[in-house]
Amino acid sequence: MEQQPSLPFTNTSESLEAKTNHQVLPRPPPEIPSNIWKDTHSFISNVESDRISEFGQTYMRQIEELKDEVKEMLIVAANDPVEKINLVNSLCRLGVSYHFRAEIEMQLNRIFESQRNLGSDNNYDLYTISVLFRVLRQHGYKMSSKSRIDTLLLFAKLDFNRVQLLHQQELSHLSSWWKDLDLPSKLPYIRDRVIEAYLWAVAIYFEPYYSRARLMLCKFSMMLTVVDDTYDSYGTVEELRLFTDAIRRWDISALDDLPDYMKIIYSFLLNCIDEIHNDLTEEEKSYRVSYTKDTVKEMFAAQFVEAQWLDQNYVPSFDEYFRTATVTAGIFAYTASFFLGMGEEIAEKNNAFEWLLSRPRILTAAYDIARLKNDLTSHKEFDQTYGRQIEELKDEVQEMLVAANDPVEKINLINLVCRLGVSYHFQTEIELQLNHIFESQHNLGCDNDYDLYTISVLFRVLRQHGYKMSCSNPHLAEQIINALELPLQKSAPRLEALKFISFYEQEESRSDTLLLFAKLDFNRLQLLHQQELSHLSSWWKHLDLPSKLPYVRDRVIESYLWAIMIYFEPYYSRARIMLTKITMLLTVVDDTNDSYGTPEELQLFIDAIHRWDISAVDDLPDYMKIIYSFLLNLFDEISNDLTEKERSYRVCPTKDKVKEMFTAYFVESQWSHQNHVPTFDEYYRNAFVSIGSFAYTTSSFLGMGEDMVDIDAFEWLLSTPKLLSAAIALGRLKNDLMGHKVGEKTEHVVCSVECHMNEYGLSMEETTEKFNLIFENAWKDINQECLKPTPVSMEIFLRIVNLARLVEVTYSGEGDGFRHPRYF
């Protein structure tokens, strides 16, 4: 039966049994992850190149016809910048922009030069502005936008300053209160955190009418902090038992049973609660203080349980720990104290406190809201001036709310008022307006032709105020979910094109010509990729390394997928094949260092690498002779495939980077056998090389055409530019972080995660947070470096950007996508 090339919607496979020959190995090999592609190897190897060529020619004829139509579309759109930018966006996301690079660059340059403030000077919706920004930035142009309502902005600024002055007054009072107590000198182990405690209170409620509540909450927070520090940092188990018993009794007579320093704390606690109690009305006292006391007792009892665990070296189960930790975190005690000073109309007994004590889900979900951080500026004497101006502007803003008859204009105004932090002035008016919008037009987002920004604001503002809003656009939801999982800038272009073709097909405003062009081009390119993979599978099968060296990973398909992520375009065929072969070489040597070689064998191998001469093979063990011959033969093969000019400046730098990489492997193996734990900096300097990104990037330039890569490009690359350093940082640290999370680190050396945790005394969560910040900064560097003018062509830059994207795709799942391909 005649085999057909595999296209996106078909799949054929045959099994291939690999021959095994372990005779060349001096000892049994370790187990390696199974190869999920073994059936695919068989199919790919047997696909007839003539059949691929036949299909490719058919696609090519259709593509050439459609290509002219798409070029015409670009010309027709020349007069409308927005139409043009949307067309360019579609071409990029459908994966066919490489056909029109010169035309696209010319059009974008014309847009940028003629209308630098395109997003600001025209009344474009958010979607259009975002596409303008992303497409132009993606091609190296700078874009910015701004818009505002001056009256509303002035009102927001004045109100913010006025409220801030009130906060200053409150903080002044609290600082004096804390100073008079003089607890830090009596109990020097406690944290002096009155300002932080007040910032937390401001984050909970900033409005002026919650002044009493903020003061109470801040004092209460300081009380919890003092007791928490005593349990965590100072008290013995016996002392803490006495203190916990005294807390349960909650009586001044319990003071006599406590050590002297605990008498100070216990008195502070009772006095603090009494002070709060005296500031409440009779009605408020009847239910608020007792509720809050109970949560405090519960919290301190739980803290004593943790202190006992520590003293007894007891390790609880996760569930046992979590039940206690939920209380010791102070969530319930702190939240109960929110309500202490709030007005009776806000926190009445039946609704607020009883609901709180039911442990609602929103309580645990909302506790981690970030603290508010404000500068304490301006002077107290300006308060009255601010007040007069605020009242005048308040009337103007109220008039704006009334005058807005258009629901969309109204919702946008309400959104601004909320986001600027002044909505508390207009709570009644806002609620009335939102209720009117919701009742009169339930399907506001569906029954009108609103842009994405308007629909998103409608949805968020109404949902934020408790109204149900929905949209019946699963296609859009799928795109959003996809973008949230892995943003477009971080996704591999070919994978993104495959997804976007499906998305674009569901667009009502799609261009059928463009869609057909994209599908045909995708299938035509996939046929070329199949042909290349067929060649590589036959090459790998002919080498027969997995049977000679059964500890190495059979990862030819993964290596080729990586090469496609670096460059998928048809004119990079030679480069993809060379890069895949070098990747397999690096994998074989990596597995030898990680999983099999002894220190003595690895020393011989690295000496041979430095010599890079066939005569060195005689000094190696039999199995290493196979690897060394593979190395030399591969570079000879690549050298022969290059022109003499290309050979003159490409091969030697690549060899040097490969030598550096293998030397770094050897250093790590020495650390392992010597039980040496490096510092983070020592580890990172070596791992920056051993990850192989530098050698991989140099290798990716080997097979690119002379019109793409010249000697200047190699010299730039060898200067270790910031762009490459950022991509290497992503690769190294994401590899280590993922390996550590899923327990896949090799025995051969500690990883950066362990080095960082050991050196800085951080937890896994804290280290992950630090690494995530490094990843964020690395992407900032990558994006910044790609802005024009660039020292080398954007084609060169894209290889390194695609390397960073490859890293994101490989480690975006639940494991290492190269080590375990099921995670791809």
Q: pLDDT digit string (tens) for 650-705?
A: 999 999 999 999 999 999 999 988 889 899 999 999 999 999 899 999 999 999 99
Cα(85)–Cα(91) distance, rounded to whole angstroms?
A: 10
Cα(801)–Cα(177) distance, rounded to whole angstroms?
A: 56
Tell me the one-letter amino acid at 172.
S
Query: What is the rounded average pLDDT of the residues 512-529?
Result: 85
Q: pLDDT digit string (tens) for 251-302?
A: 888 888 899 999 998 898 888 888 888 887 776 766 777 778 888 888 888 8
List all residues 6 or more positions away from 600 whose beta carbon is below 8 Å from its beta carbon: none
Cα(695)–Cα(583) distance, rounded to whole angstroms?
A: 10
Q: CA separation (Å) from 512 to 62, 79, 105, 504?
A: 14, 22, 24, 10
For a pLDDT cut of 70, what percent of the chain falls above it? Answer: 78
Assigned token pair, 402 = 């009334």
Residue whose pair of structure tokens reads 């030898």 in the numeric block: 592
Cα(771)–Cα(782) distance, rounded to whole angstroms?
A: 16
Number of neighbouring beta carbons within 10 Å of residue 819: 19
Assigned token pair, 51 = 């059949």
List all residues 6 or more positions away from 463 whose beta carbon is below 8 Å from its beta carbon: 469
* Confidence label for 473 from pLDDT (cuts 50, 70 and 90): low
What confidence score (pLDDT) does residue 697 get? 95
What confidence score (pLDDT) does residue 4 get? 44
Number of neighbouring beta carbons within 10 Å of residue 317: 8
Closest by Cα among 249, 356, 248, 264 to 302: 248
Cα(629)–Cα(612) distance, rounded to whole angstroms?
A: 10
Please give the mean pLDDT across all residues of the chain. 80
What confidence score (pLDDT) does residue 346 get? 57
What confidence score (pLDDT) does residue 184 get? 87
Supply φ then ψ for residue 816, to 5 degrees: -75, 115
Cα(323)–Cα(328) distance, rounded to whole angstroms?
A: 9
Query: What is the rounded average pLDDT of the residues 811-824?
Result: 56
Instruction: Name the DSSP letter for residue 817.
Output: T
What confidence score (pLDDT) does residue 64 get? 81
Q: Quick one: residue 330, left, alpha or beta (phi over 0 = left, psi -120 to 50 = alpha)?
A: left
Cα(407)–Cα(409) distance, rounded to whole angstroms?
A: 6
Region of poorest pLDDT, from 2-6, 92-96, 126-130, 429-433: 2-6
What confidence score (pLDDT) does residue 111 get? 81
Cα(254)–Cα(249) distance, rounded to whole angstroms?
A: 7
Instruction: Name the DSSP letter for residue 350.
Output: I
Instruction: Name the DSSP letter for residue 554.
Output: -
Query: What is the rounded average pLDDT of the residues 417-441?
Result: 76
Residue range 555-817, CATH number: 1.10.600.10
- Does residue 715 have a pLDDT over 70? yes
- Does residue 624 have a pLDDT over 50? yes
Element (H, E) at 500: helix 493-505
Q: pLDDT digit string (tens) for 785-806?
A: 988 788 998 889 999 999 999 9
What confidence score (pLDDT) does residue 65 get? 82
Q: Quick one: residue 446, left, alpha or beta (phi over 0 = left, psi -120 to 50 = alpha)?
A: alpha
CATH 1.10.600.10 segments of the chain = 182-366, 555-817
More confident residue, 117 or 167: 167
Q: CA separation (Å) from 635 to 433, 577, 640, 689, 702?
A: 73, 13, 8, 20, 11
Q: pLDDT digit string (tens) for 86-104?
A: 888 888 888 888 888 888 8
- Does residue 426 have a pLDDT over 70? yes
Q: pLDDT digit string (tens) for 290-341?
A: 778 888 888 888 888 888 888 888 888 877 877 777 777 766 777 777 777 7
What confidence score (pLDDT) does residue 99 get? 83
The reply to whether the predicted model has a pTM over 0.75 is: no
What confidence score (pLDDT) does residue 374 get? 26
CATH topology of domain 182-366: Farnesyl Diphosphate Synthase (1.10.600)
List all residues 6 or more positions away from 318 whose beta carbon is below 8 Å from its beta carbon: none
- Does residue 627 have a pLDDT over 90? yes
The helix-helix angle for 711-718 and 693-702 (nearest 10°) equals 180
Query: What is the rounded average pLDDT of the residues 476-488?
Result: 77
Assigned token pair, 92 = 């990029």
What confidence score (pLDDT) does residue 18 get? 33
- Does residue 634 have a pLDDT over 90? yes
More confident residue, 687 or 30: 687
Assigned token pair, 168 = 């200053």
Residue whose pair of structure tokens reads 């650390």 in the numeric block: 671
Question: How far is residue 420 CA from its own chain's centroid?
Answer: 27
